[in-house]
Amino acid sequence: MLIYDLDFSALTNLLKEWNEPAYRAKQIWQGLYQHFYHSPEQFTSLSKPLREKLNNLDFAGFNPSVVQDSSDGQTRKTLFKLPDGHLIEAVLMRYDPDSNSTKGRRTLCISTQAGCAMGCVFCATGQMGFKRHLTSGEIVAQVMYYARLLKEEDLTVTNIVLMGMGEPFHNYDNTMAAIDRLNDADGYNFGARRFTISTVGLVPAIRRFADEKRQVNLAVSLHAADDASRVEMMPINKRYKIEEVLDACEYYVAQTSRRVTFEWALIHGVNDTPEVAKKLAARLRGLMCHVNAIPLNPTAGYHGEATDRQRAQIFKETLEQAGIPCTIRMRRGIDIQAGCGQLAGSVLST
């Protein structure tokens, strides 16, 4: 059993089965999530018999198989091999003028599934198909791996985006359990507003998420302003039309008073024209939202090309003139296939 799969209650019950005092649970919890211990031997405050019992638990969950750093040194991608042989990738992105600075951001892009069932044509993970859900502990373990690395530099994680391999809302319960574990005030204590969940637009899950009134940020991959265009890129649109997705987003805003971010991969000649921007603005008018656009990242299975800087700027200005805030995001880690939509590149080539 992976120790990160245990919430505090389950850990307490396990120690009770082992006839250990309840206060040991808090010591172990803090060791895991505050000191980032990753082996029983590091828990020196525990008795030797208890440390031996802890050896029955898995403290890793996976092994890093390949580590790649981008040429600018700001992005690191790690390929992990799971015990059953499946592969996942996670990414650390530094947004610091000085990588040794405690200021700036260090964002983790975390996977929630091995592969993905959504089949978005421009996404490398979608191109590989669905393998399996990750457990909550396997999601947590990715964060702890990078937290330990950053601690060696006296740095911390500042943001976590669940935008890696997989559709988080397809693995809803495990994804939320992982967030709750990382958010626990007596453990890692990572603020809810520093998480962002990205979804292709699973309408029932968006509404469930809204009803839970979490402070976690919501990002929806839209990429098209009409159903005919979107269904060519995102098969999920056959099931949930744009109007249904936007209705769910309006419900989310009403329930949480938080804005929605719409992700938009700018594809040259496909969805990057002023006409498309005007159509998108008409769709989004009145909704508390923000458009996060990024030139398409290349993948082996899709032949569309990224928009150029000038077209991206015109797209942004067209939206803003219509009252829709828009940001053109920086492309990160393209040279190591660590950018948005590129994860699983290493998987496909192995």
Q: Which of 298, 296, 157, 152 is nearest to 224 (CA)?
A: 296
Pick the closest to residue 34 from 135, 137, 148 (CA basis): 148
First to last CA, the chain: 28
Spot the catalytic one: 89, 138, 167, 263: 89
Task: Tell me whether residue 89 is one of the annotated catalytic residues.
Answer: yes
- Interacting residues of 120 by C-beta distance below 8 A, sequence separation 6+: 126, 200, 221, 233, 234, 235, 236, 341
**Are the C-beta atoms of 267 and 122 separated by less than 8 Å?**
yes
Query: How far apart are the C-alpha atoms of 274 and 189, rounded to whole Å?
Result: 43
Is 250 a catalytic site residue? no
Q: Which residues contact 48 (CB under 8 A, 6 or more apart)?
A: none
Give 264-325 as a DSSP string.
Answer: EEEBTTTT-SHHHHHHHHHHHTTS-EEEEEEEPPPBTTB---BPPHHHHHHHHHHHHHTT--
The one catalytic residue in 116, 120, 289, 340 is 340
- Cite the active site residues: 89, 340
